[in-house]
Structure formats: C-alpha cells, structure tokens
Amino acid sequence: MKKSLGVLALVAVMLAVTVAGAGAFPAGDWVSGVTVANLSATDTGVWISFRNPDGTEALGFDGGTIFGNSAKTWYLPSHVPGLPDPFLGSAIVEAEQPIAATVNTQLPSGSNPMRVGTSVGESTPSPTMYATQLMREYSGWNSYCAVQNTGVDAASVTAYYYNAAGAEVDTDTQSIPGSASYIFDQSIDTELTAGQQYSAKFVSDVDHPLAVVCNFYNSGASADTSQFHSYNGMAQGAEVLYVPRVVKDYYDYQSGLKVQNVGTEALTVEVVYSFGGNTYTQTSTSIGAGQSWGPYMGDEGQLPGSMAGVTGSGSAVISVVSPNANKAIIATVNEDNRVDPAGRGVTYRAALGADASETLIFPQVVSEYYGYSSGIQIAKTSAGTVSCTACYSAAGPVAAFCDNFQLTDLNPSWQQFAPNASGMLAGVANDDYNGAVTVSCPGSSVIGISNLSFRFDRDTRYGNLLGDSFTTARGINN
C-alpha cells in the first residue's frame, strides 16, 4: 500500500528536450536523472507519477523495490520506458516508507562541455515559497524557476520580484493545473530590467502547497562559461541559519552567500565563518523586506579585513541581529571555480535549526564511478563535542564500512573525499563505487551536503570532459 509520507514533488523533470532558442533553457537536449533513497531499514516499493504541463499523467512508473537504507537511480532517457520523448514536466514520488530524492537537470552524459545542476525532492511544499537569487542578462547569466502546484485543483500563482534594493519591481500571475508545473522564465520577462539580479516570492491564491526549483546559468559559449546552478525554493525563514560548507581560495574554488530577508522589517545579519579552528565575523548592511545581501568570498573587499589570506574549506552560521517576531531570513550558498578548469558551480540552501537531526543520509555518493567522485561535509548545530560515524552502504561494488570523526566548537565541520575514505583506501572499493552514506551523531544535531564532479585527476578511464560536472545536494536529515 502506498503511503503519502511527505510525497516528494520533483519539479522540472526533463527528458530529451530540444530547447535551442526556447527561452527557459540554454541550447541542448536536456535530460534528468532521479535518485530515490529509502530512509528506513525496511524495504519499500516506490512509484513515480510523471505529469504533463496540464497536470495529466504522462506515465505511472513502478520503480520496484528499494532495499532498506539504500537508494535507486533512474536515468530517464534509458531507465523509464514509456515516458514520452520529448517530455517536459514534473513528477510525484510515493513509497511505503519514508523516502528522499534528488534530481539532476543535465545535458546527456558525456557531453562536452558538461552542464548539470542538482535539486532535492520537496517533501514539505508550501503556499508561499521564496527564491534568493535570480537574474536577467546579468553579465551573461539568466535564470528560471519551475513551480509545481502540488494540490489537486488549479491554482493561481503569483511571482513577486524584488530588485537588489528590495523594491518590488514586477509581478507575474499564472494559472497552474493541479499536480502540474509552470516555468517562470526571467530571461524573457521584459518587465525585469536587463543586467540586474533579483529575488522572488511565489504565492498560491487558494493555499495550495507549491514546490519550487530555480536554476541560474551563464552563456555556455565555452567550457569556461558552462555553469548551471540548481537550488530549491524555501518555504520559511528563521533567525539563525547554518551553512555546512563555505570555501575561500580552496583549489581555486570560492563561495558566495545570498541572504534574503523574508520578514516584514529591515534587518542586519551577522555571519560567523569557521576556518581551521578560527572564527571571523562579518555584519551586513541593512537588508530591507524582500531584499537579498551577500558576499562573494573570492573578493577580499567583500569580506572583513581579518579574513585576508584565509584559505580552505569551512562552515558558517548566519544570525539576525536583534531578532524579533517580524524578522526572518533564508539563504543559499554558491560555490564555483572561475579559473582553470573554469566553468564549475553549485548552489544549495542553508539549513534552519529545525532541519538538523542526529542522523543524516546522502542518497548517492560515488568513488571513481564513470570518472565521478564525491565528497561530503558535515557541520554541527549543537554545542560541545559531537561524536559521529559515517557509514558507506553496500553497493556495486560492495563497500560496507564506517569512519568515525568528531566535531568540536573550534572545528565545527568535517569533510571527507570518498576516494580517501578508509574502506576505499583499504581496497574494499577502489573504484566504481556508487552507494549511499549514513552519518549518525547520537544525541546531537548535524546538517551536511554531498557533492560530486568529474575528476580526471582521479580516474583517467573516460578521458577529460570539460564544463560543469559539479553538483551538490543537502543531506537528508532523518
């Protein structure tokens, strides 16, 4: 019997869509990959309902059984027979046990240059959703948001756009059938001034819950300009947000923050960065209601002077200064590489304290798998020393082992590159590993992300593919 256990809304699922000159997407035949993780120890069946733009079902797909604490991946062009080709729509995933999912939006595997972004299935849709970072013809960048009406009946959905100063500059209202999605394409919205960045709020008129995924991308004229970033819209803010990974001058990668004020009063925020046992504090300018603010960490001038010369991978905590009931924030985190090999970038959403838990699941972690390798990074949200175990599941090839680590107040985050995990180095699965990782921190609260990218420096079997192969997804707290 299927259970609607936080039914997962997967927006902007694409199969072999030729979209050259079609607005919402850069040129190419875009496809999707879907990974569903079983969050329980009990085996579960899984069903995916693929939905057309008018809300009708394009295909009801029986995904078979997912073993306990395991995951299954479907690459839509080849693993889902019967799905129309071309197809552009959304999906709803159901199972007998609690599940989580990730969705890749990408050019077909092996494309050169590569382009890919990752979002997560939305288990808690909301009638109001926010997007921190949108743009129209901004230094070669554009964006779009796929908005899914998860209700049964049609809903009128309005997008409210805010400029960098926090002023509402445009609205766009669309009727979206039940279970369907609509693409709000900023690249062709002439009410938005070209050359600017924006934030947005999406509101349903009949209180139907929405799921939102936004993508922003640059020109794609070369491998150096092939970045394709995906992130999920956010339903609510908080006074404190947690960022499990930020980088500064880290193997030529840099992070950026976008903090959006989703309250009704102007506010300032304090960002406390943790790098190598040291902390650095930055206070924002005043951020108006609806407005976004954030530094690019590759520009020393946008950071406090104390961070000059700081390098590496760390974490951050973002807090509202002088909090009250009318003040709340959301945030997304970017990470990209703008030098050799340029063209890689990812975005993920910062975590609320309520998101954290003692168990964290990463549905897909790989080690030298068709040229790809993953990393994970964990950060604590509770005080004191936190003891954790990261366990790699049995997969193909089998690799069942665990690594132990600690998080402290001086070093609140921990990272691991999958090929350097103990079991990989011991030869349990030196290459071709594709499985899940469960992180357990009994009695404490943690958040985290996983990423993967094509790593020719680690696996030369598939040649050197350039472009944006870099993806990131938040770990699933269970």
Q: Which of 329, 326, 247 is nearest to 292 (CA)?
A: 329
Would you state the pLDDT for residue 88? 87
15-23 LR contacts (CB < 8 Å, sep 24+): 15/76, 15/77, 15/80, 15/83, 15/84, 15/85, 15/86, 15/87, 15/88, 16/77, 16/85, 16/86, 16/87, 17/86, 17/87, 17/88, 18/86, 23/144, 23/185, 23/187, 23/188
Distance from C-alpha of 54 to C-alpha of 179, rounded to nearest angstrom: 8
- Report cis status (omega within 30 of 0) of the bond before 397: yes
Is residue 58 a contact partner of residue 77, using CB atoms and an 8 Å limit?
no
Would you state the pLDDT for residue 427? 62
Mean pLDDT across 43-70: 91
Strongest mean pLDDT among 20-24, 90-94, 315-319: 315-319
Provide the pLDDT confidence category of residue 20 given band limits of 50, 70 and 90: very low
Higher-confidence position of 418 and 26? 418
Higher-confidence position of 99 and 278? 278
Mean pLDDT score across all residues of the chain: 89
Which stretch of 36-40, 45-49, 90-94, 442-446 has the lowest confidence by average pLDDT?
36-40
Residue 400 inside a domain? The answer is yes
Mean pLDDT across 371-398: 90
Residue 70 inside a domain? The answer is yes
> Which conformational region is residue 381 in: left (phi greater than 0), alpha (psi within -120 to 50 degrees), or beta?
alpha
- Tell me the sheet residues that pair with 446: 357, 380
Provide the pLDDT confidence category of residue 2 given band limits of 50, 70 and 90: very low
> Which conformational region is residue 61 in: left (phi greater than 0), alpha (psi within -120 to 50 degrees), or beta?
beta
Residues 228 and 256 in one domain: no
Residue 338 inside a domain? The answer is no
Residue 352 inside a domain? The answer is no
Question: Among the residues of 315-473, which ranges form H helices?
Answer: 422-425
Distances (CA, A) of 73 to 30, 76, 80, 84, 151: 17, 9, 11, 19, 26
CATH classification at residue 244: 2.60.290
Mean pLDDT across 378-393: 95
Residues 90 and 224 in one domain: yes
Provide the pLDDT confidence category of residue 221 given band limits of 50, 70 and 90: confident
Higher-confidence position of 337 and 426? 337
Cα 326 to its chain centre, rounded Å, is: 27
Query: Is pLDDT above 90 for 424?
Result: no
Q: Beta 128-136 vs 196-204: how paired, if at all?
A: antiparallel
Would you state the pLDDT for residue 11? 52
Q: Which of 85, 95, 33, 41 is nearest to 63 (CA)?
A: 95
Q: What number of other Cβ atoms are within 10 A of residue 325's Cβ?
A: 9
Mean pLDDT across 76-89: 88
Residues 253 and 124 in one domain: no
CA trace torsion 127, 132, 137, 143 (10° rounding)? -50
End-to-end CA distance of the chain: 22
Structure tokens at 157: 């959905």
Distances (CA, A) of 19 to 14, 24, 99, 166, 406: 11, 8, 32, 33, 47
CATH classification at residue 381: 2.60.290.11
Residue 345 inside a domain? The answer is no
Would you state the pLDDT for residue 341? 66
Residue 79: DSSP 8-state? H
Residue 337 inside a domain? The answer is no
Residues 170 and 184 in one domain: yes
Out of 330, 346, 372, a domain closes at 330
Distance from C-alpha of 297 to C-alpha of 288, rounded to nearest angstrom: 22
Q: pLDDT for 348-379, tens place per residue?
A: 999 999 999 999 988 889 999 989 999 999 99
Phi, psi of 161, deg, nearest 5 = -105, 140
Q: How many domains does the chain have?
A: 3
Out of 209, 235, 261, a domain closes at 235
Would you state the pLDDT for residue 8? 54
Phi, psi of 302, deg, nearest 5 = -95, 5
Residues 227 and 245 in one domain: no
Would you state the pLDDT for residue 436? 85
* Residue 217: domain span: 1-235
Which stretch of 6-10, 239-243, 252-256, 269-273 has the lowest confidence by average pLDDT?
6-10
Out of 199, 219, 235, a domain closes at 235
Higher-confidence position of 396 and 197? 197
